[in-house]
Chains A and B, each alone.
Chain A
Amino acid sequence: MAKYVAGDNPHYTGFSFFDDLHQDTRDIQIMVTPSISIEAGTTSGVANNGKTYSMGWKFTDTGADAICSFNLNWANTPRELEIHIVNRSKESIKTFIKTERSILPSGNQINCADLIDGKVSLLSKSTGLFTTSKEVASISLVGMNGHSLEINISEAVTELIL
């Protein structure tokens, strides 16, 4: 619906809109984000059950349509673990539980504007009177802007020394 027009000054970017926007009531969003600093990696932490779980991630650039999607894979994890998508105001805006695997329909797609400077939090829920919910690990969403994010949650493998 628009093209970007670089001017003589490199600090200015123009948006020349194609004339296909005849509805005056449409709202448009423009997002600028720094490039994702680490596109893939693994983080881990200890859950309430005392076991260590890892969360691997990989961002893939999917274009300029400002739709962000999530694909989750759970392996050997208890139901007490949840994935929370947390916005920049530190509010959980979507929760994934173990049964929600990859390639779900639109439920896994979120407007990137709602995710700007947010994070993915792997949460270990309270399992009794003497435990509280705790964050096991997290992934920064800074730079997520027209990307898909694949997340693999699994119990960390403990290396046995014999």
Chain B
Amino acid sequence: MRREDANRLKVPLIFTEFGACFAGQECYVEINNSMDAFESQLASWAYWQYKGYGDFTTTGGAAEGMFADDGLPQQLKLKAITRTYVHAYKGTPKSSWFSTETGSYLTKFNYNHNITADTELYMNTDLWYKQGFKLTMAYAANG
């Protein structure tokens, strides 16, 4: 529904202030489910929160952020937000899908050679592809 609104108003679609959960598997699943939904609609997102910074608007404390009390990143949250994705397309994105079970990623876009900048893909090999990966690019079946 929000995607339809964004298209109608011709504005970007971005989801903010989701998450705010503590370290653990439930939070990991919650973030993944949210991001799966955002990605299916080609929407941007911003996890909340990065750090507490003495925020008095929440009762959750600093654990809602990305870091543990010892200052190190919460590993599951880190993994949840380091999804592989294309953040710059030389064209118009049509679909994007990432598996949080396997690390497989697939995106399709409509190429536009009038755009001078390149397509650029982000992937965190340390967290998702420790055993290696393979990257391919091809004309899509309907291209």
Contact = CB atoms under 8 A, between A and B. Distances in A.
A5 interface: yes
Which range contains the number of A residues in contact with the other chain? Answer: 35 or more
Interface of A: 1-2, 4-5, 7, 10-17, 19, 21-35, 37, 61, 64-67, 88, 111-114, 116-117, 142-143, 145-146
Contacts of B121: 12-15, 30, 32
B33 interface: no
Contacts of B71: none
| Best-buried of A2, A15, A27, A31 by chain B (most CB within 10 Å) | A27
Contact of B131 (A24, A37, A65): A37
A147 B81 CA distance: 29
A28 B91 contact: yes
B119 A24 contact: no
Contact of A34 (B108, B109, B129): B129
B9 to A, nearest CB: 25
A7 B87 CA distance: 14
Given A22-B113, A31-B136, A113 B131 contact: no
B75 interface: no
Interface stretch (B14-22, B23-31, B39-47, B98-106): B98-106
B118 A4 contact: no
Interface in B81-133: 84, 86, 90-91, 94, 97, 99, 101-114, 118-125, 128-129, 131-133
9 contacts: A17-B90, A17-B113, A24-B114, A26-B143, A29-B106, A30-B108, A116-B106, A117-B99, A142-B102
A130 to B, nearest CB: 36
A34 B100 CA distance: 12
Given A26-B143, A30-B137, A11 B125 contact: yes
Nearest to B101: A117
